[in-house]
């Protein structure tokens, strides 16, 4: 395998499993120095333990990377989680915790990395979002909302930091077979929804367990990091690219109808 990332320093958040681990492994195989930032230490990579929802811990972790390696070339904001259940019944604690992980964690890492990249006059920040950012999934309202917020934030950031030589792009994976499925927190839904919430989550979990391997997403992340002019967003998987293309031309009411049939 070619070592086209030799000399590059790459930080991947949440690289202890799933997409993050596969991404870190591929960057390392391509010659990069890889640092994992996660709540638990990685047994595979150089790691810095930090809770990405804690701004001070994230800033300290990025500062440690700078002290150890003198630079930061690529930041992959991958850490994330999910909750499911009726929006009516979701606890504020669960919703706030999800946004803290999926949105604020990525924000803290980007804010800490940008000054270092600006001083280098180069860098790349990649956000792992989801096709759910474009398709609000019933009974996963806040996962979809958090990923939509992440994608929107990344899109704005892209234009803010472009003059500093910093490239920003967002990846939109579809269903991926990882431990994310088992880790999803299930909020109780009131009896008014009957078995609809459980059926919707079961359908999503079935799709995930028959989904793409995380290595496919990792290859897409590395490919984005190579591009001098990466796209604003990139979906992974032919059918997800088709879904997004159709969503741009189909009436919103019809797209909502399809989502209701699939998951509600």
Q: For residue 233, what is the domain's CATH number?
A: 3.40.50.720
Q: Does residue 2 fall inside a structural domain?
A: no
Q: What angle do CA 130, 142, 97 make, to 5 degrees?
A: 105
Residue 174: half-sphere exposure toward Cβ, Cα within 13 Å = 15
Number of residues that make up the chain: 264
Q: Determine the pLDDT at residue 150.
A: 98
Q: Does residue 74 fall inside a structural domain?
A: yes
**Number of structural domains in the chain:** 1
Active site residue 143: yes
d(Cα 6, Cα 65) in Å, to the nearest integer? 17
SS3 content of the chain, % helix, strand, coil (to 5): 55, 15, 30
Q: Does residue 233 fall inside a structural domain?
A: yes
Q: Does residue 250 fall inside a structural domain?
A: yes
Q: What angle do CA 25, 125, 76 make, to 5 degrees?
A: 30
Q: Does residue 253 fall inside a structural domain?
A: yes
Q: Are 16 and 36 within 8 A, CB to CB?
A: yes
Range of the domain at 17: 9-263
Q: Does residue 66 fall inside a structural domain?
A: yes
Q: Does residue 85 fall inside a structural domain?
A: yes
CA 160 to chain centre: 20
Residues of the chain with pLDDT under 70: none
Q: Residue 47 region, left (φ>0) first, then alpha (ψ -120 to 50), else beta?
A: beta
Catalytic residue of the set 143, 193, 240, 263 = 143
Q: Does residue 56 fall inside a structural domain?
A: yes
Q: Which of 7, 31, 13 is nearest to 75 (CA)?
A: 13
Q: Determine the pLDDT at residue 182.
A: 79
């Amino acid at each position: 395998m070619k070592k086209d990332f030799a000399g590059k320093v790459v930080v991947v958040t949440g690289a202890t499993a799933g997409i993050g681990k596969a991404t870190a492994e591929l960057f390392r195989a391509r010659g990069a120095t890889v640092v994992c930032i996660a709540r638990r230490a990685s047994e595979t990579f150089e790691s810095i333990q930090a809770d990405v929802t804690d701004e001070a811990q994230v800033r300290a972790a990025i500062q440690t990377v700078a002290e150890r390696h003198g630079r930061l070339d690529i930041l992959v904001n991958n850490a994330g989680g999910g909750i499911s259940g009726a929006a009516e019944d979701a606890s504020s604690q669960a919703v706030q915790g999800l946004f803290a992980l999926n949105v604020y964690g990525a924000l803290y890492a980007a804010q800490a990395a940008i000054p270092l990249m600006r001083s280098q006059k180069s860098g790349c920040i990649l956000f792992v979002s989801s096709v759910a950012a474009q398709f609000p999934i019933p009974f996963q309202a806040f996962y979809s909302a958090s990923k939509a917020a992440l994608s929107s934030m990344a899109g704005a950031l892209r234009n803010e930091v472009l003059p500093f030589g910093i490239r920003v792009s967002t990846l939109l994976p579809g269903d991926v077979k990882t431990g994310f499925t088992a880790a999803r927190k299930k909020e109780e839904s009131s009896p008014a929804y009957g078995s609809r919430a459980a059926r919707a989550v079961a359908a999503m979990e079935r799709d995930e367990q028959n989904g793409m391997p995380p290595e496919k997403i990792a290859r897409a992340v590395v490919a984005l990091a190579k591009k001098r002019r990466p796209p604003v967003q990139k979906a992974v998987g032919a059918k997800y690219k088709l879904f997004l293309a159709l969503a741009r031309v189909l009436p919103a009411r019809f797209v909502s109808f399809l989502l209701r049939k699939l998951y509600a």
